Amino acid sequence: MYNSKISGLGFYVPDNIVTNDDLSKMMDTNDAWIQERTGIKERRWIKEGSEDTSAVMGVKAARIAIERAGLEPKDIDFIVFATLSPDLYFPGCGVQIQDMLDMNTVGALDVRNQCSGFVYALSTADQFIKTGMYKNVLVIGSEFHSGGLDKTDRGRGVTVIFGDGAGAAVLSREEDNAKGVLSTHLHSEGKFAGELIVKSPSIMHWVPQLIEENNKVDPDYYPYMNGQLVFKNAIVRFEEVINEGLSKNNLSATDIDLFIPHQANLRISQFVQRRFKLRDDQVFNNIMTHGNTTAASIPIALTQAWEQGKIKKGDLVVLAAFGSGFTWGSAIIRW
């Protein structure tokens, strides 16, 4: 059995920076309130009229990752695309990537696991490579949040959190079983599905009904989050799934060189950091400048950490995420 290694990384975020002060002009909020609760100072939002979409941003990130892997699009055997904000209800963004990159007629799979999406996508790609089915798999996390947020006082508790962007990784076959993705660990608890959710539109509440009702103030059309419950569950599940991965590989917290959490809330990351007694230089956060980019947050952060020289050959890198579903997961990687 093979292992998979990350052979190339790339990310893309829109140029348009939206600060907390900018948001205070749209809704009743302020910089101090947002930073105290989330740690976020600014985020990137796609400008109206831009060509960017989840698929387009994914392609921009993917081109960088493929080039850095020393490959061309024709060398990619399979695509796994993670997002909660696809360009279309169907088909999924994966096939758009295949077309935009002018790839061979490779398979394309879309993953709908929201904040845990990239870890789930990475795990899926890893299994395809481990079993020998594919040699090079393109994994993308991309989100266009800003077009679907409630930018009124009612939505401020959610809207201030999210940003747009995309990150990509190429996973390639690794002959050395002591290197690359050592293991991944995935979980879900669907009884909490309603605590972080967009209820409409859905097949149960589809377009003709929405048009007939024409209820512009229906909150079901926008994201809902039970913030306190999400926070309490996140800090428990983060710790559990990281320990699960370390135990699987006979490792401990002292072996971690770099921890990259899903960028949900700086307070969650800091809590987990304290639980594992990690130094500031052992944890990479970018939520301060990018907000929560859901499925894109880990690949963006991972790429930035690598670009800044924070990941070296032989380092143990731990990825972990928690989000809507509830779903959560971790990946243990020997670089």
Active-site positions read: 115, 262, 292
Q: Which residues pair with 79 in a beta bridge?
A: 108, 138
Q: b/e string for 300-327 if b means 16 or more Cβ within 10 A?
A: bbbbbbbeeebbeeeebbbbbbbbbbbb
Please give the Cα distance from 176 to 297 (Å, whole number).
Answer: 28
Q: Residue length, the chain?
A: 335
User: Which tokens hold the place of 31?
Assistant: 């910089």
Please give the Cα distance from 114 to 111 (Å, whole number).
Answer: 8
Q: Return the closest-CA partner of residue 72 out of 115, 101, 96.
A: 101
In Å, how far are 46, 64, 75, 95, 151 from 134, measured between CA atoms?
34, 21, 11, 18, 43
